């Protein structure tokens, strides 16, 4: 299993190199994200495919049904051996069922080397996953940051992060990809941690709104 990053060391680094984050570092506890075990990688990515454009409760129900049909943690071989029709009977639309089958077949054939992800670079993993139908930029970046706990990921497709970065930097508009790279340059090699703090800030604001109501 991958080693958990030293998030406390990362917070110290950001204090020194990204002073705009100091109020957030002071407000929130040390990050406790831990890498997932290898056997969960495939299922985590499948969750990304299944959940697209669905309410959380609906996607959760679908994933529970798939788990009962195919077992947990979900493995590529189990998906390869089941029919498209059987997947659709669990509530998946045909297109997503085809995406799952295609992904599983690529994994079994070795076109996607999931079992080696822990030894590969972010760029190498992204190069493999971006070829899979149904796996978009957001899903891949979330996988790198949350499942593998890579320390230097900037999810430029994540709206919550971009919105909070806009507020942090006092921008008039939501920053675009190239601008995000420039704005977070001083956070390297701990950009993932900077992102995590902005997520915490977004959740903090949302909770305050609920408390006011």
70 shares a domain with 43: yes
Q: Do residues 148 and 117 lie in contact, with contact meaning Cβ atoms separated by under 8 Å?
A: yes
59-117 per-position pLDDT tens digit:
999 999 999 999 999 999 999 999 999 999 999 999 999 999 999 999 999 999 999 99
CA distances from 152 to 46, 122, 144, 191 (A): 23, 9, 9, 5
143-176 per-position pLDDT tens digit:
999 999 999 999 999 999 999 999 999 999 999 9
Note whether residue 106 is domain-resident.
yes
208/213 Cα distance (integer angstroms):
9
Whole-prediction pTM value?
A: 0.92
Structure-block tokens of residue 103? 């992904």
CATH number at residue 24: 1.10.1670.40
51 shares a domain with 28: no
């Amino acid at each position: 299993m991958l080693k958990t990053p030293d998030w406390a060391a990362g917070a110290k680094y950001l204090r020194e190199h990204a002073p705009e984050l100091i109020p957030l570092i002071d407000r929130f506890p040390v990050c406790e994200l831990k890498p997932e075990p290898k056997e969960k990688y495939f299922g985590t990515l499948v969750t990304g495919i299944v959940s697209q454009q669905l309410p959380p409760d609906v996607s959760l129900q679908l994933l529970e049904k798939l788990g009962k049909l195919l077992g947990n943690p979900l493995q590529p071989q189990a998906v390869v051996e089941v029919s498209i029709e059987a997947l659709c009977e669990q509530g998946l639309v045909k297109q997503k069922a085809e995406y799952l089958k295609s992904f599983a077949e690529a994994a079994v054939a070795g076109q996607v080397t999931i079992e080696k992800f822990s030894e590969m670079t972010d760029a190498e993993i992204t190069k493999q996953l971006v070829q899979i139908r149904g796996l978009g930029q957001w899903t891949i970046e979330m996988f790198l940051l949350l499942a593998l706990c890579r320390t230097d990921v900037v999810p430029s497709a994540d709206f919550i992060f971009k919105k909070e970065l806009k507020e942090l930097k006092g921008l008039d508009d939501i920053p675009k990809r190239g601008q995000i790279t420039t704005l977070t340059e001083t956070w390297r090699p701990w950009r993932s941690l900077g992102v995590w703090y902005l997520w915490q800030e977004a959740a903090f604001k949302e909770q305050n709104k609920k408390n006011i109501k």
